Every structure is written in structure tokens, then in C-alpha cells.
Structure 1
Amino acid sequence: MKTVLLVFLHGFMGTDNTFDQFPRHLQNELRTELGCVPGATGAAGSRNGLVEVQSVVYPRYATSGELAAAVESFLSWLTNTVIDREVAKGTRSPVVDPSVAVVLVGHSMGGVVACDSLMAATSASPAGPTVFPHILGVLCFDSPLLGLAPQVVAHGVLDRGVSKFNDLRGVAAGLPLGAVSSFLFAKGASETTGTRSADANRARGRWKLAAGLGAAAAVAAVAGGALYANRDKVAEHMDWIGGHLAFAGALFEPRATLERRVAGASASAPVAVFYTSVADSTDVRKMLGRRTFCVVPDHGAQPRLGSWTEAANTRATDEIDAHVGMFNSGTNPGYGPLVGGARRTVLGWTTEFLK
């Protein structure tokens, strides 16, 4: 019996509950389409004994540090997960003739991790068409593979990102703006030395600048000695900020670099992106039409950069709400069609594997 394994990866600072009931709903719809029925133990079996569909959520991981480290950890976990299933099945040659095929499903930055993992698996495999684990494709949900839409950076992320900076208020409430910014930027400069790549340092530096300005504005108010007296606490907050922003720094690479990443993944296996959109209701900007969380390629570039399908949310107030509420049927009126679109995409990928 062959197994189609759906593997879900959350995004930036996500949790095991990011996908809500989506994994179960997608799994059940695929089981219905493929003729699967519950087995005696509750596992998915098949009427003809040929196929089963399983889903697993990759355990919550740290979205901090370098993206490459997250990719390496995930690919190691995925390889072991697939090997365990192949051994349990008694598969004679899981590399040449696998009985388990994987569909990677990523939300937000989880899609970036999935695409990079696909390329890493391809490059680590021997020359030829065989790749282990056998990855049928990558489903990305609102993954900023080509970067965040500019208006999200300008109006959404910065507004919602100040909560961590606000923690510094208790450390140095009222500290003069100049003293705070000098401390933050000095720390940021010192942290760019070490083992980080030049590109990662540039991305980290851009985030550090924004973080420094936000933090300085948040704590500007009291006395000069408080920051130094509580320097360990301040360092803790800045390490948290810097680590997480280094992970997301991959979104701020040049557009050509981002396109090469997506094209590389698409050359290894199909990549399908479902991206949210909201209508702009403000009088000044309504003429701009839909607003998206992530940058969307022109239609002419999509074959090379995977397939991109709009998933409009008519209830969301802004791009961030649409992004985080994508898998909630109560906040996303388009949830049903989203499950259906994912089901049809995966079914198309399984045809060759299930022959």
C-alpha cells in the first residue's frame, strides 16, 4: 500500500495550532477522492488496498537564527519520519521505489522553509531523478516567497511588531531617545561580526535599524542610568528581536535572488501558492483594488515561479488579519474553496505516484 503523507509547517512564530482543522479537512477530502476508508485501528486504509493518506504537523520549531539551520533541522526530521514509515511497511527499496510520497504544506515562512528543504533534498540526492524523501510538491499558503508586499511592511508589520519593544519600557521607561538609539545601534553593529554570512548580516542590519528605531521610540522617557543598570534585560530583548528578524531576513533579499529560489524549487517539484487578498475600502486607496500579504508575480512569470492562486478574504480588515485567519472558517469566508483548491492540487500531483 502506498502512502501520501501531508507534512505541515507553521510560519514565523507560529505554533502547532497554526493550521487549526485544515490538516484534518484536507486529509479527509483526499481520502474520499482516493477511495480511502477508516481502517480497524482508525488509520486510513483503502477500498482497494492501494493507497492511504496521512497528515502530520511538524512540531513547533524556533523561528530564529539563520533560515538554513531551520531547513537542515526540518529535512533531518522529515527524512527520519519517512524512513520510519518505509521500515514499518517493509519497503525493499525506499529510494528507488518508495511507498511513501510527501506533500509539504507551509504557511507563511513555513512555505519558504519547505521550498528550501525541497532544494536541499534534491541537491543531496545522487545524480538522476531519484530524490529521497520523495516529495510530490510544495503547497504554500500566503508564503512570501518573493517578499512581503510593500504596504504590509509600511502599515501592518511595524504597527503590530512594537509589542516586544514595549517590554523595554519596564526596563528603561523615559530614557532619552539618543541614548537608547546609540545603545541599540552599537549592539547591532557588534553583532554583525562573527560567523554570519555577509548577505545575512545585511538583512539583519536592515531589520536592526527598524528594530532600533521602534525600540527607541517605545522607551523614550525617563532617566539615563536605567538602561545600563538593566543592560542584561535589554540585551535579552534585543537578542530575541535580532534572532527572529535574522530568520525573516531572507524575505529582504534582492528580488532576483528570491525568484531564483522559487524557480529552483519549482524545477525540482511543483510549487503551488495560495495567497490571500483583501479589498481596500479607504476612499483614498480603493482605486488600487486588492491588497495582498505577499508579493505576487506577473502572470507571465508564474510557470517558472510555480502556480499562484488568489484566495480572497472579504471579511478581513487588513492583510495581516487575512494572513493569520486563513485557516479559520469563522474569519475566512473562502475557507471551503481553499480546502477544495488544495485537494485538487494534491490529487494532480499523486497521479503518477499512484499508478
Structure 2
Amino acid sequence: MKKKTLLLCFIHGFKGDDNTFGRFPADLKKLVGHALPQLNIELVVYPRYETRGDLAVRVAEFRDWLRARVMGLEDAAGTQSPTTSPSVRTVFVTHSMGGIVAADTLLSILDDRNNPRNFMFPYIQGILSFDTPYLGLSPAMAAHGADTNLRTASTAISQVSTLTSGFFASRAATESSKALTQAPSEEGKGKEPEAPNFWSQWGRVVAYAGAASALAAGGAVAYFKRDELGQGWGWVSSHLEFVGVLLKKEELKERAERVSRIEGVGFANLYTALGDRGGDKGDRTFCILPQRGRGWFRCINTKAQDEVNAHVGMFHSDTNPRYYDMLDLAKELVGGWATNEWSSYPGPSSRGVGISVSGGTPGRADE
């Protein structure tokens, strides 16, 4: 009889790609395989996807892709009833906004009205997140001046958001019209009309001054670079729509609390922190932390100079001196979630896999 399969599914974050995780997937698969020899450990990296537009659309696309992937594994295993007795269970391993995608995917599966028996398919064994801002991005990043891109983007957006829509839009339209239609002077004959300057390119941004201001204040500009902002509001707005979830505090809190309390589904968020606990950087993090919350684990980076670099460099040993400690913790978490009745016996399980949401008291942060 074939072994059951634990699928490690990696999901990158905002503007990430297939290489976000570096060697981490292969390293984690090897360690989990040694810890759980009774299971077949598979890994898959969700191909680069558009981190823009409606988050719900991106979640639906990922869910369809995952379902097809798991069905392929179930067919290969000859599973007769993958919905009620799956031979494949999945652990999401995510970075940054990928954790939001994973959480919403899990909740969409549980809330599926076409599944009145409340069986999960695909069956999600756990969500192992890395620096996912479940409660938002730390505003302190801007105060500390973390990363050049963050500082320049914050400045650009803040400057734009101080202008009134009517004045700025009309001024930009006027300047653009003059530049393109005004007859050239004798001195300027033969020259191309001047292109609209930086501010006129941002003429439409001021209609969204409130959102831009919130974006800057909330630290979400850590995701943008100045040259990208210069592509215009159409580009920025589509990406802002995707990360706009980070500005909705109540929705963030509700999502995090619900996902962390689902019985039978593991949850952890390994978040970066600068320096040592007792050092002057020990409280600087990329994510807002919960006052209390089960499954949040501090991963200290003693090399990174700011929160953004700690965030993007956590999967590489040359930028994260404690990479192997983080890797070992990840292995322990996944191994703990998968050590249960389902994994103890080969072949189809003897009973269904209904899921419920618990209202248990959360533990402390760093638990």
C-alpha cells in the first residue's frame, strides 16, 4: 500500500517570484522527510502570480490550481474518495502576502456552500508563514527610515497626498496641455514638446490622496520602488488594491484570529526582528505583532540593517545568520502538525476529516 503524501506548497508574497525561497524548500523537504519517514514528502512552488488587482481573484486562481495539483496526486495514489478519505494533505509555506493568500484560501474552502458536510478539499494540514503581516505592517519602519526605497516612496506619496484633488488635477491637466499644444517659439523651433514633469504624471493620484496617505503611514510603501511609482497611478492602484487589505485593521484581526483557531490545522508566523532581544534594535519588526497570539515566533536577524532587508533576506543564509535555526523550527512545526492518526497508518483513513473552528483562548506571542 502506498504511503500517504504531505505536500509542502510554497507561496511567494508581493512582487515575489519562483526564486523567493532560494534553497529553503529543498532544505525543509529533506528535514521533514527524515522526521516523518512514514510519509511521502512532496514540494511544489506556486508559480509566479500577479500580485495586483482583487485579492479574492488571486485566491480563487490559486485554489483552482491547488485543487488540480492535489487531484493529480490523489489519482496517482488510486484514492477512491479523496474528499472524505484523502491520501494527500497540504501545508502552506508562505512568505509575506503569500500568507494572506493562504489564509483566505483555507477560509474559502471551509466556507464553500457547495460543501455542506464541511469536509476540506484540498485538505490543509497547516499554514507556516514567514513574516506575513497578518495584523499589518509596522508603521515604525518609516520612523526608523528603513531602506532607501521605503524612504523615497514614502516621501513621494506623502507629497502627493498633501495636495488637493481639484487643484492638482486641473494644474496637471493645464501643464500637460500647454506642453503638447503650445506653438514653439523661434528659439524652440525644431525641438520636441517637453514631456509632462513628475508631478503631472501623478495628476490622477491626488484623487486617492486619502489612500496614498494611509499607504505611506502604514508602511506599505516598503513594497514599492520609486521607479515603479513613476509608472503612474494605473500601475500603482492595481497593486494598491492587492495590498490594500493591510489597511483594513478589523478584517486583518478577524482573519488572523479565525485561522489561528481552526482545530486540526496548524498555524505559525515566523517573524523577523532586528538585533538581539536586549539590543537597541530588538523591538524593530516588519510586522505588527499581536498583544497575545498563539503561533507567533521571533526570528532574530543580527546582520540586517533594517526591517525590509531582514524581510526579503530571511531565506538565505548569507543574509540571515540564523537561517538554520529558522529551518529547524520550521521542521519541528510541520512535523508536529503532521504527527496524528492520519499519518500513523498507511492507506486511506478510516473516518472523515470534518473541520470545526474553536474559540479557545490564544496563547502569548512567541509561543
Structure 1 and Structure 2 fold alike (TM over 0.5): yes
Contact (CA 8 Å) 2:12, 2:97: kept in 1 or not? yes
Q: Which residue of structure 2 lines up, in the alignment, with residue 113 of structure 1?
A: 101
TM-superposed deviation, 1:181: 5.6
Shift of 1:78: 0.6
1:231 is matched with: none
Deviation at 1:12, TM superposition (A): 0.5
How many Å apart are 1:88 and its aligned residue? Answer: 1.3
- RMSD (CA atoms): 3.2
Matches within 5 A, 1:230-249: 237-249=232-244
Per the TM alignment, residue 204 of structure 1 is displaced from its structure 2 partner at its CA by 7.2
SS class of match (2:311): helix
SS at match of 2:40: strand
Provide structure 1 residue ranges, at least 5 long, that are not aligned to the other structure. 36-49, 190-201, 220-233
Which one has the bigger helix percentage? Answer: 1
Q: Which residue of 2 aligns with 1:279?
A: 275
Give the superposition deviation at 1:171: 5.1
- Equivalent residue for 1:39? none
Task: After superposition, give the CA deviation of every residue in 1:73-92 in whole Å (9 maximum; x if it has no partner).
Answer: 11111111101110111100
Instruction: Tell me, yes or no, if structure 1 residue 55 matches structure 2 residue 43.
Output: yes
The 1:182–1:210 alpha-carbon spacing in structure 2 relative to 1, beyond 3 Å, is farther
Tell me which residue corresponds to 2:293.
302
Deviations, residues 242-278 of structure 1 (Å, cap 9, x unaligned)? 1111111101112x32111111212332210000000
Alignment partner of 2:284: what SS? strand
> C-alpha displacement at 1:280, in angstroms?
9.0
CA contact (8 A) 1:204 1:245 kept: no
Partner of residue 267, structure 1:
261
Question: Which runs of structure 2 are paired with 1:1-355 in the superposition (5 Å)?
Answer: 1-35=3-37, 50-124=38-112, 126-128=115-117, 130-154=119-143, 155-156=145-146, 158-159=150-151, 161=153, 172-173=196-197, 177=199, 182-186=203-207, 188=208, 206-207=214-215, 237-254=232-249, 256-268=250-262, 269-279=265-275, 289-298=282-291, 301-303=292-294, 307-352=295-340, 353-355=342-344
1:85-121 CA deviation, whole Å, 9 max, x = no partner?
1011110010111000000011000011111111111
Distance change >3 Å, CA 295–CA 29, structure 1 → 2: same
Q: Which amino acid aligns with 1:272?
A: A
Query: What is the percentage of aligned positions where both structures have the same residue?
Result: 38
> C-alpha separation between the residues in 1 aligned to 2:156 and 2:33?
43
Distance 1:276 1:93, change over 3 A: same
Q: Is the 8 Å Cα contact of residues 316 and 332 (structure 1) preserved in structure 2?
A: yes
Q: 1:160 Cα shift?
A: 5.8
Per the alignment, in what secondary structure is the counterpart of residue 25 of structure 1? helix
1:61 and 1:181, CA in 2 relative to 1: closer, same or farther beyond 3 A? Answer: closer
User: Greater CA radius of gyration, 1 or 2?
Assistant: 2
Q: Normalising by the residue count of structure 2, what TM-score does the alignment of the two structures yield?
A: 0.72
Unaligned runs of 5+ in 2: 158-193, 345-367
For residues 204-250 of structure 1, the C-alpha deviation after alignment (integer angstroms, 9 at most, x for no partner) is: 78449999x9xxxx89xxxxxxxxxxxxxx99632111111111110
Distance 1:21 1:247 in 2: 27
SS at match of 1:291: coil
Residue of structure 2 equivalent to 1:199: none
| Residues 203, 250 of structure 1: 8 Å contact kept | no
Letter in 2 for 1:324: V
Query: Contact 2:12/2:96 (CA < 8 Å) preserved in 1?
Result: yes
Query: d(CA) in 1 for partners of 2:275 and 2:343?
Result: 41
Distance 1:280 1:85, change over 3 A: closer
- Structure-1 residue corresponding to 2:179: none
Q: How many residues align?
A: 293
Q: Deviations over 1:114-172 (max 9, x none)?
A: 1111111111162445211010010010000000011124533632647999xxxx953
Q: Structure 1 residues 112 and 135 mapped into 2: Cα distance closer, same or farther (>3 Å)?
A: same
Question: Whole-Å Cα distance in 2 between the matches of residues 280 and 343 of structure 1?
Answer: 23
